Every structure is written in C-alpha cells, then in structure tokens.
Structure 1
C-alpha cells in the first residue's frame, strides 16, 4: 500500500473534519460552476460544447487517484477492471466504487445519482450502517449536492453552496486583492450595463496605447465567457448584444469583470488547503498549459525563481486566511501569471474548490521526487469504435510509466476515452488524461512526442 497516498488522504480528512477515522465519499462533479450562476443576468452568447459534455461528465474518474483506501468514489459507470488493476499496481485505486444502474451521458454525476433510486438507497444504507463517520466530499458544492446530502443523510465535509458561490466569483477575487493589497491587474467589476460602460471609459486608455482588454464572465470556467477586446468597435459590439437582450428581458443586470490584457511568459496555478480551524497549508505551484483560455495541463515543478516563489507563497497564505474569514475551508486553487517583465500577478482568480491539480497531488508526491519533472495533459483521440484499456496499453507499450524506470506516461483517467461513443463506425472524439514523468524537461518533451506518435495510429481512422 502507498503510504504517501494514505498520508494525503488523512491530511485532507483531518483538515475538513478534524478526524482521521472517517470515510470520504468523493463526488467529482466537474463544471459545478454553472449552477452558481445567477439565472437573472444578461450574458453574451457562447458556443455550445455539444457532445463534449459527455466527456466532461466522465472526468469524475480522476477521483480514483485522489481517494484513500477506505474511501468511496461515486462514478457514472464502474471503471474498466484493467484500468483499476493498473492503478492498483502503482499504489492507487483501492477505494470502493459506486455507480448508478444506468449512465445517461448527458447528465453530470450528481444528476445521475439523484435519478437512480437504487443508488440513493445504497448511499442511505451506507450512512446508517457505516462503522465510522461518513462525509460527502464534492469537487464543489451547489444546491444539487446539498440535495444529495440531505436525501442520503451523508453530511457534507465542506461549506454550503452559498459560500462556494460567493468566493468563486471573479469579482470577489478582485475585491479580496484590494482588501489584502495584493498586486492586481487594472480592471473593474461590473454588475450592470451602466457600470460596464463606465468601466470601459476608465480603461479605454489601454486600447489607445496599443494594448487590449478582456471581458470575463465572473462565473465562467474553462475558457468560457472570455472575450478579448482589441479595439473600441469590438467593445461596442458586445454592448450592443447585451443591450438587445436587456430590451427583450427588461433587466440590465450583468456579472462581468473588464480588465487589461497582460502579455505573459506563462500561466501559473497554486493550491492551498484550509482547515476548519483556519490553518493554511501551501500545496505547491505549477505552470498551467493554457490554449485560448482553456486549461490543457500542467508542468511541474514550476520554473520560478526563489523570489518569485516567495511572492506566490505569501499571497497563498494571506488569501487562505481571508477565505477562512469569509466562511470557506477546504482546497482552493489560484490562477496567476508571470508577465514578460518577470512580474508575478499573484491572483487573477480564485477557484475555491478542487482543481485539476488536486487530482495530481498523490501521483506527484509518490512518483515525482526531487530532480524529476511531470507534464500533466490530455490527448485528443479520434475513434470510430470502443477502445479497450488493454489495447491502449499495448499501443503505448514501452512509453507507459513503470516505477522501476521512473519514466513514462501514467494514465489517470480512461473513462473519457470512450465517453462520447454513440455507435460502431461513427467517428467521435475521446480524451486520454495522463501525467508524463521524466528526469528532465528535455526528457519530458521526448516522451510526449513518443506518446503522440504511438496514439497517432489510433487516430488514423479508415
């Protein structure tokens, strides 16, 4: 058994409940942010992600690498036995798994559970018969997770949905930065069309000097709700679309942040763990791989200098203490950037919930000793049939991670590979999530290229 894995599970339990002898039921409800939005606000139109939602809903399988041996992971479908065997060979995947009788791909994990009476009965029985206290631990909490907790009798180990909604608003992050005197990108929070128009007048000088602005949906996630403003014409077009909605709906309420666009060297993400007594533990910082505002992965450890790391650590502790004062405890991740002048902007936004980095912590602690590097990423596959784990493993062959050589690709989610499958012969997109481990950044690049080449044979659909 992996002692490191058990140790982190125990640390999380102690932080959230004050006890080690509890069972956590992990509910990895990705994109819970959509349920924190106020439905009575104006929003710019956005593209529908369509069948990609089927894939996103299966990201909950990442919880296999987070849960401790005595814990339970709630899944949309039971995992591939071969995938679990591979995880167990590495010291993970020894928790229990509970899934609804039927998986509706269009529903997220919480909705799937609420619609399955048999699974709800099983969770109620668990709450009543467990020898040790049982707690529900979601990725993030909305009214849906509170309903699940209420109906099953399994208490939440995290704050209420009201607290989650409050602290995950980008406007909250800006107000907190001001309160704590943390370096902040010039910008404004806008709760009405009038405030947005006024805010643009304040920031228009950025465009006049050749810069850009960016308009962000305060509850947006994964690149959604971000509009780059290169000139005044683009801003006025956004205003026109919002004004048109306002005329139809009779409301002028919005929830946006308008900021100066900062040219950067890299994106950063760091995490903290806030316990119930207000203690804050810094969990580390990674370089985020971002394309068009959408998270693609992480490079670990970051290449920051000691001075730059010091800026991040100081901000992390101060933000954690402030979050606790505002009622939040648990895991929180902050997005930051290193700009082209070498300046750290420590808090672009707070993601007070689990982050992708959260699901990498155990792997990182177990298999990324000092001197080794990790590249967490997703690979896109174009498939026309279901792909078995054994077949994928055979294709990757020598490039798969093995503890004895300490390098290779460690797969930490297989469910997303086949999540969008509809019928034999119909092409669909799948995702493979994993962490490449290597002895140097250069070795990571070699291994990544080799994995891409091995997977390319799958993508050659005939």
Structure 2
C-alpha cells in the first residue's frame, strides 16, 4: 500500500500568522473581536474539499452532523472526528495552545483509530509550531519544511526582499523604529495615503491605512509607548496603490523543487479582508501572460525553494488602475481560501458546474438549526444538488453557530451573537447575483440579521 492510499490526516488552523509572529513585536492599534476569533477557530471544517475517501479530517469542534450528511450526499468522501478536541465554551483563553498542541497533549486524537493513524501522512493547512511534535506523537509521516523556514518565508519582510531580489519594482520599505516610521511616513504622505503593514498581518488585521499627518503621529506615538516597554518596532510601509483588481496565484513546489501552477483566482476584498474568490477569466489570464506574470511566479517558486520551502503557495497580486501589475504583494506559503475554492471547483467540474466562493456575516438570537437552513434553501429551490445544477453549496456550519453554542454552554440563552456562513454560489456568472440575494433572503426569513 503506497503512502497516498494509506491516507492523509488533514488538519489546520486559519490564524497561523498568530503563531509565526514574534510576541515581542510592537502591534498596530486594532480592536479585538472575540466572537470573530471563535469563528476563525471553527473554520477548519472548510478543509473537507482537500480530503479523498481514505483521508481523515480533524477539526477542533466536530462537524455539524446535518452538514456532514449533506456533503456526503453530494459525493464528498471523507471521515472526521465525531467528538470535540476542545470544549467550545473554553473560549479564546484556551487557544493559546494551537490545534497541534491540543492533539499532542491529548490521550488520543478525538475518536480517530490509532491503528489508522500509524503511518498516515500529516497534511497541515499551514506548518506552525507543534506540527512536528504532533506527527511524532501519533507516528504520522511528515514531509513538510521546518517551521522556522515556513515562518521566514511567510513574513512580509521576505516578500519585500523577494521583489528586490527579482528586480521587480517595489515601493515598500522596512522601518525599524517609530522615529523612522514617522520620518519616512511623512515623506510618503506628501504623495498621498500610505499603508503600514505588520510583517504577519492577515485578512484585515495588521494593515493600517494612513491618510493624514495627525493619524500618522498618533500611530507612531502609540508604537513609541510600546517601544519604551521593550517591544521591537518593525513594519513595512508603502504608498497606497489605486487598484483595479486583487487576484492571487496558487502553485505547488514539489520536494525536488519542481513548480506546478494550480490556478489564478480573482479576489473580492473589503477593508483588506478576504470576501471571496472567483476563477480568473480568459481576459485576465491573457493580460498576465502578456506581462510574463507566470515567469515571475516560477522565479518566486525558485527563491522559496532555495530558502528551504516546498509545498502549497498562494501569492497575492494586484492589477492597478493605470494597468500596471504588481505580481508579488505578499507570499502566503501555506494553503489558502482560494485553494479551497479551487478544490471545490474540481468537484463541481465533475458535474459540469462552476462556482464562486464567498461568505456572509450575520447576527442572531433565534434557535434556528443548520438543518432548518438546508431545508429552507431546498424548499426555495436554491440548495445546490448535482441534479439541480445550480444553487448555494454551504461550506461551513460551525462558523455560523459557534457563538450560539458558546453562549448557551455558559448558561446564556437568547443572546444576540455573531456568525458567518461560507458557501459556494454554483451557476453561471449571470446566476450569482440572484443566488447571492436569495441566500440573504433565506437567512433573513430565519431571523438572521445580515451585517457583512
């Protein structure tokens, strides 16, 4: 039996940057949102498209039974744990331990068969501290790079240096003190707004748009206070570029350094946060080929391999309003939301369908269940089924209800909580707007308030 048929253990966390970031680094001002932190902790259910029939998916919280049954009916074949690795009411305090630490310290990995685990391959969403210990604890095969290498290549410092190494135009610069940030920032502000980037910022956190001298001075003062308490100040600053389009390129670097292009996805971002992915059309692909964009991706893969990395990569890129392409905004040396979308597309292609991936954020206090949501979507004729050929394919359930569960486990009922539903809009481009409106209409009918 070869390694692939033995099976893979799919596992991961969607806030990997938190575990790569040096805790001694100064932080940009931001507001914590504990409910959204709970949503992020539940996002590992989105990893199911990576699974084949012989694989196992391990999630922090067991998958919703109705959601899992629906996915199995569609033909997604995977096994997953039926017990929680962590009690939902433990909240963010318990998540100082990442998911690999949770399974390493446990007597067993949920209800996974120890015999199956022995010799299976660990396939993490992102390589973070503890992945190697978890593999050793359960006798899992590991062929991923060292976490120190992964940490290095995921830093925006690496992306900034990579642009220079490849001879690409780059307006980014690294500042190493709050005084340098103020001086360089004032110079950039003469030309227009600027961005301050945390080296491990992600999805709306760690990117700060500065549009005035007053705001810049307040931020540098805030960072100066942290410096006086022993924190290290180190950020990337760059002009705020007027963009026409965000997009990303997914590729894989084999262990021998071979490069394999996977897909290009147009991105929908809002306030620097991910909102969705749509497969790049022929027009964009033609523009990229003419600009030799894919040659740059090959060179980026070469440099990543030289740095010791192999595995999945997602490079964020931009098309500016003046037609200029910024090929490397940042490197994400891990799997990504757009790669999940690509794997959902591979399933849909078998049924002569295509989709785009997105999400909706809601608030609610009602006692609605995921089963009711599926039933309502089906009754309205918009729940995706292969014989229907179009519709809404829910990709998550726990992310929608996790804060309701936490609230009720703490003995608080009927509290207004936040949730998020990830889903694929399956159908032609002309169907997406109508389907998007329909899912929001269905959620509203079930007493969910749309907030994002």
> So what's the TM-score if we normalise by structure 1?
0.87
- The C-alpha deviation readout for 1:216-251, integer Å capped at 9, x for no partner, is 00111111111111122222221111112222x145
Q: 1:321 is matched with which residue?
A: 302
Find 2:148's aligned residue among 154, 162, 179.
162
Deviates more, 1:279-288 or 1:307-316: 307-316
**Separation of aligned partners in 2, 1:289 and 1:369:** 26
Q: 2:124 is matched with which residue?
A: 138
SS of the residue corresponding to residue 45 of structure 1 reads coil
> Structure 1 pair 301/409, CA: closer, same or farther in 2 (3 Å)?
farther
Deviates more, 1:19-28 or 1:316-325: 19-28
SS of the residue corresponding to residue 419 of structure 1 reads helix
Question: Once the 2 structures are TM-superposed, how far is the Cα of residue 98 of structure 1 from its aligned partner?
Answer: 5.9
SS of the residue corresponding to residue 81 of structure 2 reads strand
Deviates more, 1:147-156 or 1:284-293: 147-156
Retained in 2: the 8 A contact 1:63–1:73? yes
- The 5 Å alignment of 1:75-86 reads 75-86=59-70
Q: 1:350 is matched with which residue?
A: 331
**Separation of aligned partners in 1, 2:184 and 2:44:** 39
- The C-alpha deviation readout for 1:422-446, integer Å capped at 9, x for no partner, is 123112111111110112x222111
Deviates more, 1:88-97 or 1:65-74: 88-97
Q: 1:116 is matched with which residue?
A: 106
Q: 2:200 is matched with which residue?
A: 219
Retained in 2: the 8 A contact 1:387–1:418? no
Query: Runs ≥4 in structure 1, deviation > 4 angstroms?
Result: 368-373
- The 5 Å alignment of 1:12-161 reads 20-97=4-81, 99-100=83-84, 102-105=86-89, 106=91, 107=95, 109-119=99-109, 126=114, 129-130=115-116, 133-161=119-147
Retained in 1: the 8 A contact 2:156–2:200? yes
* 2:428 is equivalent to residue 444 of structure 1: no
Question: Once the 2 structures are TM-superposed, how far is the Cα of residue 114 of structure 1 from its aligned partner?
Answer: 4.1
Retained in 2: the 8 A contact 1:382–1:458? no
Q: 2:288 is matched with which residue?
A: 308
Question: Once the 2 structures are TM-superposed, how far is the Cα of residue 292 of structure 1 from its aligned partner?
Answer: 0.7
SS of the residue corresponding to residue 123 of structure 2 reads strand
SS of the residue corresponding to residue 200 of structure 2 reads coil
Question: Once the 2 structures are TM-superposed, how far is the Cα of residue 460 of structure 1 from its aligned partner?
Answer: 5.2
Question: Once the 2 structures are TM-superposed, how far is the Cα of residue 60 of structure 1 from its aligned partner?
Answer: 0.4
Question: Once the 2 structures are TM-superposed, how far is the Cα of residue 102 of structure 1 from its aligned partner?
Answer: 4.6
Question: Once the 2 structures are TM-superposed, how far is the Cα of residue 96 of structure 1 from its aligned partner?
Answer: 4.0
**Separation of aligned partners in 2, 1:373 and 1:452:** 21
Question: Once the 2 structures are TM-superposed, how far is the Cα of residue 153 of structure 1 from its aligned partner?
Answer: 3.2
Question: Once the 2 structures are TM-superposed, how far is the Cα of residue 40 of structure 1 from its aligned partner?
Answer: 1.9
Q: 2:321 is matched with which residue?
A: 340
Find 2:341's aligned residue among 360, 377, 395.
360
**Separation of aligned partners in 1, 2:215 and 2:275:** 27
SS of the residue corresponding to residue 290 of structure 1 reads strand
Question: Once the 2 structures are TM-superposed, how far is the Cα of residue 99 of structure 1 from its aligned partner?
Answer: 4.2
Q: 1:180 is matched with which residue?
A: 166
Q: 2:275 is matched with which residue?
A: 296
**Separation of aligned partners in 2, 1:174 and 1:434:** 33
Question: Once the 2 structures are TM-superposed, how far is the Cα of residue 100 of structure 1 from its aligned partner?
Answer: 3.8
Structure 2 gap segments, 5+ residues each: none
Number of paired residues?
432
**Separation of aligned partners in 2, 1:410 and 1:266:** 26
Q: 1:271 is matched with which residue?
A: 250
Q: 1:14 is matched with which residue?
A: none
> So what's the TM-score if we normalise by structure 2?
0.88
